[in-house]
A and B are shown apart, each in its own frame.
Chain A
Amino acid sequence: MQQEGPILESLTRRLAETPEEFLAEPRIGQTGRAHVAAVVGDLLQLLNASAQADELARFAGSDARRDRNRLGITLLLCWLLSDDWFRQTKLEARNILELLDGESNELAVQVAARKFVTDPDRREELARVALARLGFRPAGETLAQAQDRLTTLNSSERARVMKAARAAEERARQIREALVRKAAEESADKFTRE
């Protein structure tokens, strides 16, 4: 975050206006439309960077249930990084790939991809995360301000996610217990049994 980057609003607006092609279902197996590995390859070319085939393989996905959200976020980041400002900036392929893969993976556990388009806080978070992982901060902000705002966004979302995860686990436990109680075992009337 040492270097000053673009105006934050230009990035959040770009995310809000993400075109359909970048919101398309990632191609995994035989379903989905967007070939994410190819999109990443095109982006790298656009940014005058390159990657080995095996580095792109991680963007193919193998299990839609596990990979579709992660790859959906990768697609959004591809759209974000194809902004003119990034095209005119020399970026390291290694950093770009780390952002597109590692960061997408982390964010996918917490947030549904589409929220990074529809929710203002999440748009800001994605834009700030992208800049930070590439070594930039929003134009007009000091390093401290940028770090502080990113931490606030990240930690409040993480806290929300952790709380929700704890509540979900507690409910799942209650459901498992309820299902093996005698009352549940006794079942209830049906005219047929399978």
Chain B
Amino acid sequence: MNPDTITDAERFPTLTEEGRRMLDFLREHPHAPIFRNESGNRLTADEVSRVREFERDALLAEVGWRPGELPSWLDDFVGQCFADVPFYRRYGSSSAKFQDLPTISRADLSRDIAQFVPDSAPIDRLINFRTSGTTGHSLLLASHPVVAASYLAFHKRALRRFGIELRYGRGQVGVVLIGFQRKCFTYVSVTPTMDESGLAKINLHPADWRDPDDRAKYLDALAAEVYTGDPIAFAELLKLPVQTKPRVMLSTSMTLLPAMQQRLKERFGCPVLDLYSMNEAGPVAVADAAAGGHVLLQHRLYVEILDDASQPLPPGERGEVTLTGGFNFCLPLLRYRAGDYAALRFNGSEPVLIGLEGRPPVCFRNMRGEWFNNIEVTHALQRFAIPQFTLHQERDAGLLLRLSGAGHDENQIRNSLFDLFGPGQRLVLERVPSFDGKVVQYTSDLVASSHESE
């Protein structure tokens, strides 16, 4: 392969005539957007089989372990990391006690990702996933087409939990990935493990369309089985007169407030799943109200909750979500502090992440001088369908709430925060048309907010 030119034959090694027709349909539809990029599944026939096999295993496998125990695969995984991964090899010998192993963070991955690629990983077909995040450490992550294709196994596992089996195949559009950004990577493809059902990644920003009215028309023409996106994109979708309805919607990347989830459910008449997913580890968990939180999806991903000193916390205590394992064979994670916070609770041997929040906790102070965690704010605002918001407490304890989206009752939002902070709380509420991608949701200038580590 010439590294600087890539052909459709390389993007779609197993493409059939039916698949070609699907690509043409997606690209050349009269209401299609301006696709800015090209991409493909990249899977060879052998890899398609391999992904299918992985999917079978992932769907059947038990996910979890008992409190106080470690999963049976963990020892071997740690041994492989020490033998095969340059960064971990420098630790020296493996430790008898897993909890004594050092942790890593996003900053380590950001410094030099090559040190995390195992010696045994093939590099001729590496792909990358970039993420800017909100921590100042932009990431360029190593991955592989097989890894990218394997995401679907865990999506299917999440869907199965809610009684949904994906069934769209040849001649149908399986998924539309919906974004709403000024600049967005957009393309069309087909999914070989779903009999070449169509895939379109689109941007609802009007600048990507010949006519903004085409957005709804195109979505109706595609009549996709699944919509995936983040709450911002879904908020934009809610404004469009789309007639067709997907069978399910998957929300990722940002907090999906329950009221927003409810609006989407009512509008599209389908389940709306809130996935906890990240470039570093893929789909980690899916929210399940019946389980009380986010249930884990991957059978070879061990999740710990650690305190600031990297000590494991007992079930029920909040700390930083820390991951070991994963399915990205180009990026094995060994005690990776993900920068998200939750408590872990067990329903039998099924671990559930409770109160999952991105970013380190921030403490706010109420009018009585009491300090409380930002999760209380999330709870106070969860009944409002706000696509995205930030809350900042000034040095003088005044609050600035910035929020996107329309149609909320400002007085009700104010009252919810007054209930939490107490009467007399100064609060400025500012509406913004949109935020520029991911934001740091909670910040404070008050002293107790020194919990913020990044």
Binding site for B on A (CB under 8 A): 23-25, 29-33, 63-65, 68-69, 72, 108, 112-115, 168, 171-176, 178-194
Q: Closest A residue to B95 by CB, please name it.
A: A25
Contact: A192 with B275, CB < 8 Å?
A: yes
Contact of A179 with B113 at beta-carbon distance under 8 Å, contacts A69-B92, A188-B40, A191-B152 already known: yes
Contact of A189 with B189 at beta-carbon distance under 8 Å, contacts A65-B91, A108-B92, A178-B124 already known: yes
A183 to B125, CA, bound (A): 8
Chain B residues 107-149 with CB under 8 Å of chain A are 112-115, 117, 119, 123-129, 131, 140, 142-145, 148-149
How many interface residues does chain B have, given as a range? 35 or more
Contact: B39 with A186, CB < 8 Å?
A: yes
Interface stretch, picked from B59-67, B97-105, B236-244, B399-407, is B97-105
Query: Of B115, B126, B189, which is in contact with the most chain A CB atoms at under 10 Å from its CB?
Result: B126
| Chain A residues in 8 Å Cβ range of B127 | 183-184, 186-188
Partner of B279, one of A172, A182, A183, A194: A194
A65 to B144, CA, bound (A): 28
| Chain B residues in 8 Å Cβ range of A63 | 102
Listed A/B pairs (18) with beta-carbon separation below 8 Å: A25-B100, A32-B100, A64-B91, A108-B92, A112-B82, A114-B92, A175-B123, A176-B113, A176-B114, A186-B6, A187-B185, A188-B39, A189-B41, A190-B148, A191-B151, A191-B177, A192-B177, A193-B201
Proximity bits, B363-402, A CB within 8 Å = 1, else 0:
0000000000000000000000000000000000000000
Q: Closest A residue to B330 by CB, please name it.
A: A175
Partner of B123, one of A31, A32, A178: A178
Contact: A191 with B92, CB < 8 Å?
A: no
Min CB distance, A108 to chain B, in Å? 7
Q: How many A-B residue pairs have CB under 8 A?
A: 166
Q: Closest A residue to B147 by CB, please name it.
A: A188
Min CB distance, A26 to chain B, in Å? 9
A161 to B256, CA, bound (A): 50
A112 to B185, CA, bound (A): 44
A115 to B94, CA, bound (A): 11
Q: Closest A residue to B2 by CB, please name it.
A: A183
Contact: B252 with A193, CB < 8 Å?
A: yes
A119 to B367, CA, bound (A): 65
| Chain B residues in 8 Å Cβ range of A172 | 86, 112, 114-115
Min CB distance, A66 to chain B, in Å? 8
Contact of A191 with B93 at beta-carbon distance under 8 Å, contacts A64-B102, A183-B1 already known: no
| Chain B residues in 8 Å Cβ range of A72 | 92-93
Contact of A191 with B128 at beta-carbon distance under 8 Å, contacts A172-B115, A175-B142 already known: no
Known: A72-B93, A171-B119. 4 other contacts (CB 8 A): A171-B123, A187-B128, A189-B39, A193-B253
| Chain B residues in 8 Å Cβ range of A174 | 123
Proximity bits, B26-69, A CB within 8 Å = 1, else 0:
00000000000111111100000000000000000000000000
| Cβ of B450 under 8 Å from chain A | no
